[in-house]
Structure 1
Amino acid sequence: MPDYSNYKGITMLKAGIYDPYLDTLGGGERYCLSVVEVLLKNNYNVDIFWSGDQEILPKAERRFGLELSGANLVPDIFQEHPHQIESVENQEILSSIASRRFTTDDRITKIKKIVNKIKITQQYDVFFYISDWSIPFLFSRNNLLHIQLPLAKSIPLPQKIINKIKLYNYNKILCNSEFTMNVAAPRLGSKCTVLYPPVDTKQFNPNGTKENIILSVGRFDTLFNSKRQEVLIEAFKKMYDQKNILGWKLVLAGGVLNHMEENSFLIRLKEMGSGYPIEFQINPDFTILKSIYESSKIYWHATGYNVDQELHPENTEHFGIAPVEAMASGAVPILVDKGGLGEIVTDGISGYLWNTTEELVAKTQLLIGSPQTMLQISQKSIEIASKYSKESFETNFKSILNI
């Protein structure tokens, strides 16, 4: 166990990190560990509070292409039970979370733990905490809370008062999009700001040979914020039947939670697409996915279609990393105008937005019928994608820290 008592004698700036979902290695974890990478590059001594899989950092480096050597895993003093379990996409990870041991403490033990957290967190210059809407007491010099999931839930008055007390000691509440911030700010106050997730846009080549491909990327399930591939299949079939899209194919790429033969949703999608030029890429590795991105002319995205985002903002795309990867590859995005997707493109300039399948079909046909328009919008989308690059993320995060 680290000797926390010696930390005050270290002149090197110190940062603490906590993410209760660290072993899910999802989008929030990419965000969190990108923060770690930036801090390490700027000569911070970084401690990640984690008592789970001790090989998690090498796994994260391989998955996300991050440089995390130098970060330390220290015992978890928070031991938060993940609340937003429906956002976890990997069945093995779900089993891992379910097997964790979470104890119920008596009042004296709770007080002792709070005192211990105060003693430890006040020894840090920066503390970054990924929240599923739980808010801990933190006592570093610069406390940062990250909200990645917009929830339209009401908060009882007593909890609002407690949250206000807790948030007094926070410097910023970081949200992954304007959409998430607009949901969070009425509950969490004026300290909310936007720090968009990092996308490694330099990995994608926008100048490759393009084919007549419409691509959509997203996991194949009907769980939390479903990617709505069935909507896209029906739209493509309609265009194909009207002979407006001959010579084109629709490629649906994404992961599955269980074995393909057990995924009833995927089976139904394949049945829907039977007899049409619709291709499925299941669990593609990054090299294959990158190649498909770079070969595609158009990118479709339907997460949040027909969702009342005032009531269920969590069922939309809160940001949209896959659309940005497509844009960086030169594919023109045609995105449903829900959640954070409307922040990524300007309709008719750097892509298109739609609310009905009729709009999706019409705007796709417009694009296919005008190669010059497609080229112009593709070039603009490549430019816009750089706004969400790793370099932009680092610059913006350093600005928040004033370093």
Structure 2
Amino acid sequence: MDDEDVVDIAMEMDFPRIVIGPHIKDEKLGPPRKSRTSCLIMDSYTLKSVSDLPDANMVISAPTGSGKTVLFELCILRLLSKFISEGRFVHLKGMLKTIYIAPSKALVQEKLRDWTQKFGSLGINCLELTGDNEFYNTRTILEADIILTTPEKFDAVTRYRIKDGGLSFFSDIGLLLIDEVHLLNDPRGAALEAIVSRIKMLAHNLEMKSSPLSCVRFLAVSATIPNIEDLAEWLNVPVQGIKRFGEEMRPVKLTTKVFGYAPAKNDFLFEKRLQNYIFDILMQYSRGKSALVFCSTRKGAQEAAQKLSQTAMTFGYSNPFIKDKEQQERLREASLSCSDKQLQSYILYGVGYHNGGLCLKDRSLIEGLFLKGDIKILCTTNTLAHGINLPAHTVVIKSTQHLYVKKLS
């Protein structure tokens, strides 16, 4: 973007900073208006990734927390720059769409909140297409500028629900963002593969020659892409668009500890036995800070939370997961708004669980309590492993057997 009223590039503390605003011009609104200023802080790898090929397809593998979301946002801004005409931002609602695809509803909803806040001042309309949101129709889909969805939902809407938008908006797609693209190697990857193949096929249709879809841009990112070259070939990514960054780019270095325990008579008993070790490990390594406990199943996450809350209960007023009366009172008030009775009782002890079986309201409640530090221990399945921004001091992976079985099968 060249217009200085829309994007100002500055340098501060050796980090390039992209500032959206503070003046945004809109033909419909008349004179320039003040807008909330948003900042995107980029490190050197992020800047290099977008500056080398500003309009090309890209596949990027980089560690968690190294700025992949910022790359998505810069690509969205690059697409929006096509609305700049003679120094004015002329936004045509829904005429140039970005499709963001993530593997979980929780990740979609996190990005929805973030991007609605960041791009809302530009008049950009974000729409969630997941199983948690049925309040959409042909009009809302056509008027959306950024559609955030899961592979299964987007595949269903475009394949079966023609009356609710269907393929009618495909010609307006100018950018496809694929988060956690390693999902392709998962049984659920078939839906994502079908979506990308459908978009690629329609993009080459002669009837789409003058539409944004004819030159649609693909950006796929993940922390783990073992066959990045194969993926790049499939997405028509030039060699310069393949970016692979190692652990040296991780903003916070990790310390890894591995503990082995004697096997049990069967897998079920072994999983049960592991519950007994989690509390001591948390006491030794989390030191009163936030911790995530990853379990292989929803039931396993619930049982781990139950065991931890029962152990915390035995400490009485010395519960290690609760610092003071103020935190205790906040947890008590929060528990009253939780619809899951089992989870409600765990919250009182500073413990929670998170999985795809919780309703949207309860998931949002738990995420908020964990982010604020009121819930110290969160037991979860892999729903939180797909890029959701819930920083933790300590991460416990309870049993790697599920990972090994998947790898060997």
Same fold by TM-score, threshold 0.5 exceeded? Answer: no
Tell me which interval the TM-score lies in, with the shorter structure as reference length: 0.3 to 0.5
TM-score (norm 2): 0.34
TM-score (norm 1): 0.34
Greater RCO structure (CA 8 Å; 6+ sep): 2
